[in-house]
Homo-oligomer: A and B are copies of this chain.
């Protein structure tokens, strides 16, 4: 008995979700993964909810066709606006987003009941983090700040350049300058963990940064066990990558987020438009 050896599908608008894949491969060394980045249509963060929903449905159909046993939506924007539609469309395959785990982790981290959330325009506008946190605990003060430029800075790999520090100061300085600032900051976009150094420098070392990658990996582990879907094998297969645009750029920029080189030969170009 080797359990359920089918792969887990991980989906993102681009390469940012590779921070989640990285946490998943560490947390679940016996599982196989298929990663899809919809790079021909990224970013999702500035697009409308209807557009993101349509794109996410097409993307997850490809993962289903690859025979996945579970889908992880490793994109905050898609998790924020499309999770329910995806869960309905993919049933009975379980769908896990990054918002709920991030919200849980922020509640566990805060001591002063004041949480800041930074994300893309789309995620902030949808208010999904604020709702998820409020649903878990009603008495928490939540401030949200869209940080759209962080996406481009992360894709350029500018972890702590002067430009990144200046942008972090612009976005976050005012949020943390008051007399009782938040003690917890949710990195509500999978791109942002790349900028952790600069962000921590601006908000101060006393502020807990919540990166939903780790907590999503925990949620996936729980869901696998709860649904009897865990693999018992000890022979992990290499991750397969799909991208909707240039495999070369996926491999090059993806390395920043995955934290290890990606062989461009393992990245397959796919077209989602007919799905």
Known: A47-B245, A148-B155, A245-B48. A170 touches B166 (CB 8 A): no
Interface string of A159-183 (1 = CB under 8 A from B): 0011111110110000000000000
Q: Which of A40, A151, A170 has the most CB of B within 10 A?
A: A40
Residues A161 and B152 in contact, CB atoms below 8 Å apart:
no
Smallest beta-carbon distance A202→chain B, Å: 12
Oligomeric state, in copies: 2
Which size class do A's interface residues fall under?
A: 20 to 34
Interface string of A135-163 (1 = CB under 8 A from B): 00000000000001101110110100111
The residue of chain B having its C-beta at the shortest distance from the C-beta of A249 within the complex is B46
Residues of B with C-beta under 8 A to A39: 46-47
Smallest beta-carbon distance A250→chain B, Å: 10
With an 8 A cutoff between CB atoms, is A232 at the interface?
no
Task: Report the separation of the CA atoms of residues A42 and B170 in the bound assembly, to the nearest whole angstrom.
Answer: 25
Task: Report the separation of the CA atoms of residues A221 and B153 in the bound assembly, to the nearest whole angstrom.
Answer: 39
Residues on A lying within 8 angstroms of B by beta carbon are 39-42, 46-48, 51, 121, 148-149, 151-153, 155-156, 158, 161-167, 169-170, 245-246, 249, 273
17 A–B contact pairs at CB < 8 A? Answer: A39-B46, A39-B47, A40-B47, A40-B48, A42-B46, A47-B246, A48-B245, A48-B249, A51-B245, A149-B152, A149-B158, A152-B152, A158-B170, A163-B163, A163-B170, A165-B166, A273-B273
